[in-house]
Amino acid sequence: MREPLGLILSGGLGSRMGGALKSDLLLGGATLLARVADRLEPQVAGLVVNSNVPVATKLPVVADTTPENFGPLAGILAGLDWAREQNATHIVSVAVDTPFFPCDLVPQLLMAGLAHPEGLAVAATTDGLHGTFGIWPVSLRDPLSAFLADGQRKVSTFTQAQNAAIAQFPDTSPPSFFNINTNDDLNTAAQWL
């Protein structure tokens, strides 16, 4: 397997943030999108952003191809389509609202993926699975499309059905997979910087 491509999931509605575009939120003088891109870029061969609205970035942006907001899996499907166009075999997905994810995310996912026939693995801590953080083989594009066409949306349901390997990460402070859903979360993240 060649080095995977990176996918930043930024397609959320930001409903708990009053409709604010999470990718544009400032944390310590930089947008969440810039922080996440800077953290992921050294670990992957290239980056793309999944968003259904215009975002301020020079990175390529891909929108969901599903007619409704089907959540993160629709973004992963769009990322897999983009990766296939780039002749890539795998993508690693991260969420734009989770700026403290591990700096060794990709190597750990790659190692865990060795236990899966196609290299599928998702992140976990003692808090549970963090399914938007995973390595996804492009070969799963059609099963994922069928899953969404069937009205399914839940990441854990899909990854369990595909027998995804688990990359177990240690508990840290601040929590590696802390995601920013509210203004209080944004203030907490700012204190941790």
Cβ proximity of 122 and 159 under 8 Å? yes
What are the tens digits of pLDDT across the range 118-158?
A: 999 999 999 999 999 999 999 999 999 999 999 999 999 99
Tell me, what DSSP letter sits at residue 17? Answer: G
The response to whether 9 counts as a known ligand-binding position is yes
Global pTM reads 0.95
Residue 11 labelled as part of a binding site: yes
For domain 5-192, give the CATH number.
3.90.550.10
154 is in an annotated binding site: no
- Look up residue 108 and give its amino acid: Q
Beta-ladder partners of 142: none
26-51: pLDDT as tens digits: 999 999 999 999 999 999 999 999 99
Q: Is 10 marked as binding a ligand?
A: yes
Closest CA to 55 of 77, 76, 73, 37: 37
Which SS3 state, helix, strand or coil, does residue 92 take?
A: strand
50 is in an annotated binding site: yes
Query: 46-80 in b/e burial notation, b at 16+ Cβ within 10 A?
Result: bbbbbbbeebebeeebbebebeeebbbbbbbbbbb
